[in-house]
A and B are shown apart, each in its own frame.
Chain A
Amino acid sequence: MERILTRWLDIPDLKKLDVYLANNGYAAARKAFFDMKPEDIINEVKNSNLRGRGGAAFPTGTKWSFIPKDSKKPVYVCVNGDESEPGTFANRYQFENDPHGIIEGILITCRAVGSHTAYIYMRGEFTVQKRSIDAALAEARARGYVGKNVMGSGYDVEIWTHRGAGAYICGEESALLESLEGKRGYPRNRPPFPAIQGAFGCPTVVNNIETLSNVPHIINRGADWYKAIGPEKSPGTKLVCLSGHVNKPGLYELPMGMPIKDMIYDIGGGMLDGKTLKGVIPGGSSFPVLNKEESERAIFDFDSMRAIGSAMGSGVVIVMHEDTCMVDMLRATAHFYHHESCGQCTPCREGCGWIEKIMNEMEAGQGRIEQLDLLNNISDNMVGNTICVLADSIAMPVKSYVTKFRGEFEAHIKLGRCPFKSAEAKAQAA
């Protein structure tokens, strides 16, 4: 398969402007600025069936079309490079290796929705990555690709990077906007949606880094070319973040719709230490876990994953072998969401805390059997009762672990300790 989003693996120094230009760089932007009307760009992206890569899989062209035409207020493009979903590490390499691909995608997006200012919101930990894209922006600005009068088109586009400071919730689009405005990252009630009232009260498009990186290729080679890669309704390649118990973890660009089994045994070089597969966390920590049987028949695209009750999310595949304690994995997941809950909504703030407390007891072997029902009950009361989906993001995994790995919870309770920790390790911990 031709590499599209990870061209840097084939083209050394792609991050340098001259190398980027020598490899058809900014040709799509030129086409979009000189040969296409904004509505042509939106239609081409709509026709390509490109869907958002941040997790929600919303059709990108449709999202753009929600921006009011001839808005009296400025229109903003906000690029989500917060990349905090556990298991996700694609944007990071894109920032480091293909910053101009990101910039070109932003330019085209700005032109399509009538925006003159874009912000790239980056998670606070991405310092190396921020230096990389800031250097590329400086180079692009000096050569007339960013700033006033882009490529002599008479159209201005300013692009700024904005660094967060450590908060998972800022990857949620409305929290990201609050954070951009210099506030706590509290998700907003919707409506109004960002397309009408986003950054600074103005119409705003929020797109993921990986999503925008697809755009120059679609403009260059056309919607039909793009649709021919992978399933027609969710086409394109996907940056798959393979981690956990495989021999070759890492970032892989794969066609949409690859079986997870092939990722583990072929792409990933098989199970670590030759052990047996126990399960997979697909999509990111927010999504229902898969047991062995489900993992082995799962097809990795938006619709197939949804059909088996989980999700492709942000392209995560965390592989777990037979020695993995699923109770501990859920405990760590619960700790994460409790740590990251912004605290606005009671069901989430309290629910995440209760779940973590129960999971701590469970892993320590001090759980009680009736707490399994309690975990489900708490989760049911969190789903759909909060401003954003962080509550759902722990509730859904809880229900999946308790249902699919109930035996492991029962073993912890019966033994009074974690069966995966040896007596020796237990003595050491005490």
Chain B
Amino acid sequence: MPESREVKFSDAALEEYRSLLTHYPTRQAALLPTLWIAQREFGWLSEEAQAYVSALMELPPAHVRAVVSFYTMFHRKPVGRYLLDVCTNLSCRLRGADQIVECIRNRLKIGVGETTSDGKFTLDVVECLASCGTAPMLQLNQDAFYENLTPDSTLKLIDELAARDR
């Protein structure tokens, strides 16, 4: 994510925003989906990004901030290029989630909630992601699920992700 990018939606994003407004009887109802667009456009929801959404939607900045801070998937600080969210809730614990977290920590030399110094990986632990029958699991970049993990398959995934950037 380029750091000096201007905080402004692309034309395509603005188009998407306008079409969202037609889904709801109030403008405010489009706030969550609009914040999702903002996070996709800017990588995370900086104060500037939040101010932009607040101005765009004509909503009080305090309301936007209150909403952003309530939901855990909105990033209020930058995250690495590859965000690894490992579930450590009940079913995943029973199937070895702790070992998965441990092997990622050891490989990347970072703790939970931390990002590698090259900005490539962020490790986090999350609550149940509805993948209990295929535990343990992790979600990559808040999108694809990687399931039935073993320490070996987890390290293989990390190696593949690391190689993508070379």
Contacts and interface: CB of A to CB of B under 8 A. Distances in A.
Interface stretch (B10-18, B111-119, B124-132, B155-163): B124-132
Contacts of B91: 86-87, 243-244, 249, 318
A393 interface: no
Given A87-B90, A318-B90, A332-B93, A165 B132 contact: no
Interface residues of A, number: 55
Contact of B71 (A124, A242, A316, A333): A124
B131 to A, nearest CB: 6
A179 B36 CA distance: 14
B5 interface: no
Given A163-B33, A245-B94, A333-B90, A127 B132 contact: no
B28 A183 contact: yes
A243 B135 contact: yes
B127 A127 contact: no
A84 B128 contact: yes
A339 interface: yes
Nearest to B93: A332
Interface stretch (A8-16, A88-96, A350-358): A88-96
B134 interface: yes
Contact of B129 (A125, A179, A329): A125
A405 interface: no
Nearest to A180: B29
Nearest to B23: A160
Contacts of B31: 182-183
B2 interface: no
B55 interface: no
A78 to B, nearest CB: 12
A92 B127 contact: no
Contact of A183 (B67, B88, B127): B67
Interface in A128-183: 128, 158, 160, 162-168, 179-183
Given A86-B128, A87-B90, A324-B94, A165 B72 contact: yes
Contact of B90 (A92, A251, A281): A281
- Best-surrounded residue of B29, B67, B90, B93 (most CB of chain A within 10 A): B90
The 6 closest A-B CB pairs, nearest first, are A165-B71, A182-B31, A166-B73, A166-B72, A243-B132, A182-B28
Given A163-B36, A183-B67, 15 more contacts: A84-B130, A87-B132, A89-B130, A89-B132, A163-B33, A164-B32, A165-B71, A167-B70, A183-B31, A243-B95, A244-B132, A245-B94, A285-B90, A318-B94, A329-B93
17 contacts: A86-B127, A126-B130, A182-B59, A182-B67, A184-B67, A200-B29, A243-B95, A243-B132, A243-B133, A249-B134, A285-B90, A332-B88, A332-B90, A333-B90, A336-B127, A336-B128, A339-B127
Interface of B: 23-26, 28-33, 35-36, 59, 63, 66-67, 70-74, 88-91, 93-95, 126-135, 139, 142-145
